[in-house]
Amino acid sequence: MTRIKELEDLISKANQAYWVESDPIMEDVEYDKLVRELKQLDPSNKLLDMIGAGAKLSAQNQSIVPSKVKHDTPLLSLDKVYSLDELMDWIKKVARTPKEAFVVQIKYDGITCDINHGILSTRGDGEIGENITDKAPIIQAQSRTGYFGPIDKLLKEHNKRRIGELVILDDDFKQLNASAVEANMRPYKNQRNAVAGIVGVKDLKLLPPKTTLTFIEYGSHQVLVNATNIEKKWDAIVKKFDGYATPKDGLVVKLVDQEYSESLGSTAHHPRGQIAFKFANVRKPSKIVDIEWTVGKEAIVPTAIVEPVDIGGITINRATLHNFKNIVDNQIAIGDHVVVERSGDVIPWISTVQHDEKNKVVIPGRCPVCGSDKLEMVGPHLFCRNDDCPGKAIVKIEYALKILGVLGIGEACIAKAVNECKVTDIGSWMRFGLRKDLRELGFGEAISKVINTTTEQLLDSKVPAYKILASLSIPDIGENIAEVIMSYYPNIMEIVESDDIEQTLLSVPKVGPSRAKNVAEFMKKNRYAVSDYIKMFEGIEYPSEKVDDQKPTVCFTGEMEKPRQELMNIARSIDWKPVDAVSKGLDYLVVPNTMHRSSKVDKAMKYGVDIITYDRFVIIAQQRIIRKVMDVK
Q: Is the CB of residue 301 less than 8 Å from the CB of residue 384? A: no
Q: Is the CB of residue 19 less than 8 Å from the CB of residue 56? A: yes
- Is residue 231 within a helix (H) or strand (E), and if so which, with residue range? helix 230-242
Q: Which pLDDT does position 75 carry in this prediction?
A: 87
Q: 536 vs 456, 493, 496, 529, 625, CA distance in Å?
A: 10, 13, 15, 11, 37
Q: Which is more confident, 599 or 361?
A: 361
CA angle 293, 294, 298 (to 5 degrees): 120
**233 burial via Cβ count (<10 Å: 0-12, 13-18, 19+):** middle
The confidence band for 135, taking pLDDT boundaries of 50, 70 and 90, is very high
User: 163: closest CA among 121, 211, 107, 221?
Assistant: 121
The confidence band for 280, taking pLDDT boundaries of 50, 70 and 90, is low
d(CA 598, CA 615): 18
Q: Which pLDDT does position 546 carry in this prediction?
A: 62
Q: Write out the DSSP string of 58-101.
A: -TTS-EE-PPEEE-SS--PPPPEE-SHHHHHHHHHHH-SSTT-E
Q: Which pLDDT does position 313 carry in this prediction?
A: 59
94: left (phi over 0), alpha (psi -120 to 50) or beta: alpha
Q: Which pLDDT does position 581 carry in this prediction?
A: 81
d(CA 331, CA 340): 16
d(CA 621, CA 633): 18
Q: Is the CB of residue 430 less than 8 Å from the CB of residue 455? A: yes
d(CA 86, CA 77): 18
Which range of 7-11, 45-49, 513-517 scores highest in mean pLDDT? It is 513-517
Domains of the chain (ranges plus CATH)? 3-52 (1.10.287), 72-278 (3.30.470.30), 281-365 (2.40.50.140), 390-541 (no CATH), 553-632 (3.40.50.10190)
Q: Which pLDDT does position 66 carry in this prediction?
A: 41
Q: Give the three-state DSSP class for 105.
A: strand
d(CA 420, CA 622): 48
Dihedral (CA of 464, 469, 475, 477) sign:
negative
User: 287: closest CA among 265, 252, 311, 317?
Assistant: 317
Q: How many helices (H) and strands (E) does the chain have?
A: 22, 28
For the segment 427-483, what is each residue's pLDDT rounded down to a tens digit?
999 999 999 999 999 999 889 999 999 999 999 999 999 999 999 999 888 888 898
Q: 196 vs 184, 603, 617, CA distance in Å?
A: 21, 42, 32
The confidence band for 55, taking pLDDT boundaries of 50, 70 and 90, is very low
d(CA 524, CA 518): 10
Residue 72 in this model has a pLDDT that exceeds 50: yes
